[in-house]
Chain A
C-alpha cells in the first residue's frame, strides 16, 4: 500500500513529515459512475500542467496523489482525512461536485491545508462561511446561469421554460438565471437526478408558449435531454439555452443534436489567446479528446499552486505567506484575466458560448459575445476575511 510506503520511506530517511524540498498535492475528484468523465478531465488537466512544469511546482519536486470520491460523501471524507492527516499534503485539489466539497470541507480547512476547488463553487462557502484556506479556480456555481439569464434578457426572449434536477445545485441555477432575466418564466420543472426519459417534460415544453428553454441537466442527463429535445422537433422553434449541459464531456455523445444550442461559461476550447490554444493542442495530443472547462480549471489550479510555491521560495510552512501568494493569483490563466475576489472565488469574464462543429469534425463549445467583464459573485459581500 502506498500509504504505508510513503510514510515508511519518509520515516527511514529521517525526513520526518512532508519534506521541505517537496510539494505534495492530493486530488479528490469523482472517477466512478456516470460523471467520471468530469473528474477525468480535471485529472488530465492537472497532469498536463505538471508535465509542462517538468513535474515541479514552483521549482520544487511535486508529487500528486489522485483519489476517487466515488460520489459518496463518506468516501470523500475518508480520502480527505487520508490526504490531510496521513499523507500530510500541502494542497488538496477538489472536488467536482458541491456535495462532495461539503463533505471534505471542514477536515481539510481545519487542518490548515489549502483547499483549491477546480470546479465546485457552492454559495455555502462563498459568503458567511468563506474560509482563508479555501480557493476556487472555477466560478461560483450560480454564475453561469446568471450569465445565461443576462444573455436571454439581452437577446429578447420573452417566455422561458426552466428545467433542472431536483437538488440544491438545480435550484441554485434556476435562481441564478432569474437574477438578470426579467421576462416571464412560464414554468419550472424539477426532475429526479439521473433522469432517463424526458418525454413528459418535453410535452410540457411543447404545449407551453415558451420561446426559449433554460436547462441545467449535467452529464448523462444532458445527453438524453438534448437528443430527445432535438428528436421532438422543438430545437427549430424554441431556443435551447443551458449550463453544464452541452460541454466537452457531453458533446461527444450529443454531436449534431446540440448544434446551435447556446450556453454560458468562462472559457471555450477555441478561446483565442495563445496559452489556451497551446493548451488545447497539447491536451488533445496527449489524451485524445477535447478539453472542457473542467480540464482548464484544473490546469489553472496547478498553475496557481506553481505560482504560489515559487513566490514563497518553496517554504510552505508560513501559511500566511502562502495564502498571500495564492491571493495574488500571479499566473497566466488560460482564460486571460483572472483575479480572486475577497472570498477567494474568481473575478473573471463570462461569455455566451454556442455549440458548433470544428473543422476536424469534433463538436465543441465556441466563444461568443462577452456578457460580463470581470464579474464576481454576489455572496462575496457577506464574507469577512
Chain B
C-alpha cells in the first residue's frame, strides 16, 4: 500500500462524499426543518438523472439538459408536495413513511415503463470530456473535478443562504423550534413549500450531476437514500454543516475501508479468508460508524435541535 494510492483514495473518498452531500443536503433540510421523513428523496434524485437522459436526448447538450432539468425537478417536487406531502406534515412519521414508500414504488416502476429497464447513460459536457494525469498512468476525468467543485460551491452557497438571508434565518429557526416560528406569524406552510421545493431541486441536481458517472436505472436512488440517511443522522438532522462533514466522513470511511480492510486482514489471515471477510466488514463500516456516533451522541455530531 503506497502513500500515492492512499492519497488517491482520499481524493476518491472526498468525491463520493460530495455526491452524498448533494443528496443529503436536501434531505436534511426537509427532515430537520419540517420533521418530515421523505423516503421519496432517493427517487427525486433518480428523476433528476432521468431528466438529464431525456433532455440530453432532446437537446444534445449536457449543459442545456442541466439548466432545463433544475426547474423541471423543482416542478415535479412541487407536484408531489401538492398531491401527497402537504397532507402529511401534521401526521406521525410512520404515515409519512407509508406514503413516501408508495411514491417510491410508483416512480421506480414508472421510470421502468417509460425508459425501459436497461441502464442508460449521459456523456459529460464536451468541454469537460478530457482527463489529466493524476499520477503516472492514471488519468483523472475533469468531469469529476467539476463535480467536486460544484458540490463545494453548493455547500458554500447553502451556508451563505442559511446564515445570511432571511429565508435562511427562518429555516434555522424552523429547524430549532417550528412552533415558535409559526407563533411569530411566519407562514410555515409557505416556508415548508420553499424548503421542500429546494430539497427536490437539490436532489434533482445531484441526479443530473451523477448521470455521466453512474448508470441511470430504475431504483438507482434506493440504496443511496439509505446512505444519505446515515449521513444526516451522523451529521445531526437539519444541519447543513453536519451533513457536509458527515458526507465527507462517510465517503472517506467507505472508500478507504474498501481498500484498507482487506489488505489489513491479509496481514493476519490467509488471503482467501481475507477476501471473504474483508468486503463484508468494509460494507459494514459506515453502519458501525453511525452506530458509534449514535451511541455517544444520539442527536448526531451537529444537532440543530436541542431535543425533539
Contacts and interface: CB of A to CB of B under 8 A. Distances in A.
Interface of A: 31-37, 39-40, 166, 188-192, 194, 196-197, 199-204, 206-207, 219-220, 223-224, 227-228, 231-234, 237, 249-250, 252-255
Contacts of B187: none
Interface string B16-47: 10010000000000000000000000000000
Interface stretch (B71-79, B211-219, B237-245, B297-305): B211-219
A207 to B, nearest CB: 5
Nearest to A196: B214
B15 A199 contact: yes
A204 B8 CA distance: 9
B139 A231 contact: yes
27 contacts: A32-B117, A33-B117, A33-B219, A34-B117, A36-B117, A39-B117, A40-B117, A166-B283, A188-B275, A190-B262, A190-B278, A194-B223, A197-B19, A197-B213, A199-B16, A199-B255, A200-B13, A200-B259, A203-B12, A220-B217, A223-B119, A224-B213, A224-B214, A232-B131, A233-B131, A253-B118, A253-B215
A252 B12 contact: no
Given A203-B5, A203-B12, A220-B119, A190 B214 contact: no
Contact of A190 (B117, B131, B133, B279): B279
B10 to A, nearest CB: 10
Nearest to B12: A199
B220 to A, nearest CB: 8
Given A191-B279, A194-B223, A33 B8 contact: no
Contacts, number: 117
Interface in B205-227: 213-215, 217-220, 223-224
Contacts of A254: 121
B141 interface: yes
B185 interface: no
B12 A192 contact: no
B125 interface: no
B4 A197 contact: no
Interface in B95-137: 112, 116-121, 131, 133, 135, 137
B258 interface: yes
B78 to A, nearest CB: 28
Contacts of A197: 12, 15-16, 19, 213-214
B119 A250 contact: yes
B58 interface: no
B280 A166 contact: yes
B138 interface: yes
A136 to B, nearest CB: 24
A233 B138 contact: yes
Nearest to A228: B213
Please list the 4 inter-chain residue pairs (A to B) with the smallest Cβ-Cβ separation, ordered nearest first: A36-B117, A233-B139, A206-B138, A199-B12
A219 B119 contact: yes
B279 A224 contact: no
A224 B215 contact: yes
A203 B215 contact: no
Contacts of A33: 117, 218-219
Contacts of B280: 166
A33 B119 CA distance: 10
Contact of B9 (A191, A200, A220, A249): A200
B230 to A, nearest CB: 14
B193 to A, nearest CB: 32
Contacts of A199: 12, 15-16, 144, 255
A199 B219 CA distance: 22
A34 B218 contact: yes
A194 B133 CA distance: 28
A33 B262 CA distance: 30
B140 interface: yes
Q: Which of B118, B135, B141, B259 has the most CB of A within 10 A?
A: B118
B307 interface: no
Contacts of A219: 119
A188 B15 CA distance: 24
A262 to B, nearest CB: 21
B59 to A, nearest CB: 19
Nearest to B271: A188
B260 to A, nearest CB: 10
Contacts of A232: 131, 138-141
B113 to A, nearest CB: 11
Contacts of A204: 5, 259
Contacts of B255: 199-200
Contacts of B214: 196-197, 224
Contacts of B16: 197, 199
A223 B135 contact: no
B121 A207 contact: no
Contacts of A249: 118
B118 A200 contact: no
B119 A206 contact: no
Given A33-B219, A34-B219, A207 B4 contact: yes
Interface string B36-74: 000000000000000000000000000000000000000
A206 B117 contact: no
A42 B176 CA distance: 54
Contacts of B2: 207
B121 A227 contact: yes
Q: Which of B117, B139, B143, B224 has the most CB of A within 10 A?
A: B117
Given A32-B117, A34-B218, A207-B8, 9 more contacts: A37-B117, A37-B118, A200-B258, A206-B138, A207-B135, A220-B119, A231-B139, A233-B137, A237-B137
A97 to B, nearest CB: 14
A253 B212 CA distance: 11
Nearest to B19: A197
A249 B217 CA distance: 13
A33 B133 CA distance: 37
Given A34-B218, A37-B117, A224-B215, A203 B141 contact: no
Interface string B168-201: 0000000000000000000000000000000000
